Amino acid sequence: MAHPPLTSKLPRTGTTIFTVMSALATEHQAVNLGQGFPDYHMNEELVARVYEAMKQGHNQYAPMPGLPALREALAEKAAFLYQANVDPATEITITPGGTYAIYTALTAILHPGDEVIVFEPAYDSYIPNIEINGAKAIPLPLSYPDYRIDWDLVRTAITPRTRAILLNSPHNPTGSVLSRHDIEELRSVTRNTGIFIVSDEVYEHLIFDGLPHESMLRYPDLLERSFVCFSFGKTYHCTGWKLGYCMSPPALTTEFRKVHQFNAFTCFTPAQVALAEYLKNREAYLSLPRFMQQKRDYFVELMKQTRFDLLPSSGSYFICATYGRISDESDRDLAIRLTKEAGVATIPVSSFYHNQKDDKVLRFCFAKQSRTLQQAVERLMKL
């Protein structure tokens, strides 16, 4: 029996490049420096706390916005790090991952015909999230090779239909970060407008070289129009938990929760119980910049033995590289060949552009054990 006709809401969207390259890595037993997840264990204390929470019977639904104790701990963290006065009852919602939080924020504010400014290369969920809500993404290129925002370009792109600007810092895939200059420019272009800010800050603690994280939480005038999205998975090396949260003013949170309550409704309770206590250990997140910078620096030093040329990375799990001394292939063709022939999986950065713009750049994930990075570089040295 034939199925009813179906018109796709995402006709230009296929399987994500992360799924494609990870499957290829498995098939060819390649070292996977493509998809962004650690290959080392998370903190044993946090694991034990989840187990203890389950044994103590915390296995039923948590409240729709999230466990009160966890939201209170997050409010204390926001005050400590960013001097932000965030109400845990009306301004914080626990979500099944940072990507979900971004989708929910966009769904809460977008109507057909609205426009959202997106900076490319962009995390691959952004444009589909916009389009499935009937809105239009306005992709603007970051300035290559330092991947900075061209604010003059932003000003020319703003129209009466501009509903939101979507930011990501530290940035995936490039590792660039917002500066204080960017904050001042953002203030300038949004002041006295109805433009919202959706700020993807899932890598907030993975920032290097003593740079500050310019969170929207630091700036009350920006926060009043912002949905600020975070991830526990990136902070505590547990990406498979798919647990995050969104901070936004009460009126925005109300609309956010209207969407959330009819989608996931709530999140895994034992992990929320465990995190509420574990957040009291500030050193667990304050030590992350140093920990991940050591991995970045180690990988950079190893890669000097290859013919790749690394671009700067000031944050995130990632660092990008050009390969003009190796090949003139497209980045996608080289990424596939590296996986099959060299046994190292990467991500072609053209996959983060709506038009597949190819600057011949590959993205490497360095959130790996030292021996994993060593093994990968030993293979790349043969190119």
pLDDT tens track for 40-61: 999 999 999 999 999 999 999 9
**What helix, strand, coil percent values describe the chain, rounded to 5?**
40, 15, 45
3-state secondary structure at position 131: helix
Residue 116's pLDDT is what? Answer: 98
pLDDT value for 139: 98
In whole angstroms, what is the distance from residue 247 CA to residue 227 CA? 6
pLDDT at 1: 58
Stretches where the chain sits below pLDDT 70 are: 1
Closest CA to 338 of 379, 370, 283: 379
Q: In angstroms, rounded to a whole number, what is the distance separating the alpha carbons of residues 270 and 52? A: 8
Q: What is the pLDDT of residue 18?
A: 82
What are the residues facing 207 on neighbouring strands?
315
Which tokens in the block code for residue 56? Answer: 């103590």
- The tokens of 283 are what? 């050193």
The pLDDT of residue 192 is: 96
Question: In this structure, how many other beta carbons lie within 10 angstroms of the beta carbon of residue 239?
Answer: 21
Distance CA 23, CA 25 (A): 5
pTM, entire model: 0.96
Count of H-run helices and E-run strands, the chain: 15, 13
Q: Is 110 exposed, middle or buried (0-12, 13-18, 19+ CB in 10 A)?
A: buried
- Are the C-beta atoms of 380 and 308 separated by less than 8 Å? yes
Which token pair is 228? 């600020």
pLDDT given for residue 2 in this prediction: 74
Confidence (pLDDT) at 15 = 80
